[in-house]
Amino acid sequence: MNQGYPRLLGDIGGTNARWAWQESAGADLEDISVQPCEANASLQDSASSYLLTHGRKQPRWACIGIAAAVTGDAVHMTNSSWRFSISEFKEALGLERCLVINDFTALALSLPALKPVDLRAVGGGVAMPGAAIALLGPGTGLGISGLVRGAGGGYTALSGEGGHATLAAMDAQQAQLLGILRQRFSHVSAERVLSGAGLVNLYQALCTLHGCATRDLQPADVTDCAIAASDEQCVQTVRYFTQFLGGIAGNLALTLGALGGVYIGGGIVPRLGAAFDEALFRQSFEDKGRYRQMLVDIPVWVITASTPALVGASCALDSVIET
């Protein structure tokens, strides 16, 4: 049965728009493409440009995973100027069905399909089959999601905006840094630290704390200097970033009871490579007092696959067919 094909699949972040084409059920994704969001004025322009570039005439169904809260027809991206109406987008592209979901919901739906080659293990024990799974990922913003088993045995992806939850300090030094950030932002969310812009915020706060001159750095500059160990403040920035990430990941694992494991997506951690201190991450992840042993046993993986959310977008359309 070829219901809902061909499909246009999108993964839209604050920086890049990723697109793919799926011709039929079970077929590999084709014409995977990455466009800077700033290259197009709107989602519709980006999709139309993709279809024109690859000579694709008419998708029947589409699923877009987008870095925004999707609560109705009007979608406003958090870290991009793009705004659109789902119904108008559907009509403009002549689609029979158009599903728009949070980008980390799409990524969560891809997790059961990931292979060992798509992952890098970061300690812990063995995942419990059928248990809840946690997902978080620092990139342009901080995405958070998870998977829980439904009554029918399949997984349901959680959709939320946990990246905007208040960030808490785990020790006195972190409290000092958050105090400095609180002078700039009325609310210091996890995303204010655990994101590309968050790396710069954290770097600037450390320079203020240590009385150092602040250089005008972009997120990639911070990570590059940390990897090269050429700037001590950048090295410390990545260390604190890792600590905060471990703490938030541990909180999420406790909240969901994620004995099925924790997955880290987004572009920052894979980019860090060996500069990502796995032992430091695990220390913060497991530092949960009376529930430390529970966290010690939970496995963590970094997602290294390049476009898993596009697979998740197709899975989301499959679930529409099943229901």
Residue 228 domain-assigned? yes
**Domain CATH for 144:** 3.40.367.20
Domain shared by 79 and 169, yes or no: no
Residue 108 domain-assigned? no
**Domain CATH for 68:** 3.30.420.40
Identify the pLDDT of residue 82. Answer: 94
Contact at 8 Å (CB) between 261 and 134? yes
Residues spanned by the domain of 52: 7-103+308-322
Token pair belonging to 174: 């972190």
Q: Give me the number of domains the chain comprises.
A: 2
Domain shared by 122 and 159, yes or no: yes
Token pair belonging to 81: 């100027």
Residue 133 domain-assigned? yes
Identify the pLDDT of residue 259. Answer: 98
> Cis peptide leading into 36, omega within 30 of 0?
no
Token pair belonging to 98: 């158009």
Identify which has the larger pLDDT, 319 or 237. Answer: 237
Domain shared by 85 and 28, yes or no: yes
Residue 1 domain-assigned? no
Question: For the segment 105-114, what is each residue's pLDDT rounded down to a tens digit?
Answer: 999 999 999 9
Residue 183 domain-assigned? yes
Query: At 168, is the pLDDT very low, low, confident or very high (cuts 50, 70, 90)?
Result: very high
Q: Is the pLDDT of residue 160 over 70?
A: yes
Question: For the segment 283-310, what is each residue's pLDDT rounded down to a tens digit?
Answer: 999 999 999 999 999 999 999 999 999 9
Residue 2 domain-assigned? no
Average pLDDT score over the chain = 95
Residue 20 domain-assigned? yes
DSSP string, 63-120: EEEESS---SSEEE-SSSS-EEEHHHHHHHHT-SEEEEEEHHHHHHHHGGG--GGGEE
Domain shared by 167 and 29, yes or no: no
Query: At 152, is the pLDDT very low, low, confident or very high (cuts 50, 70, 90)?
Result: confident
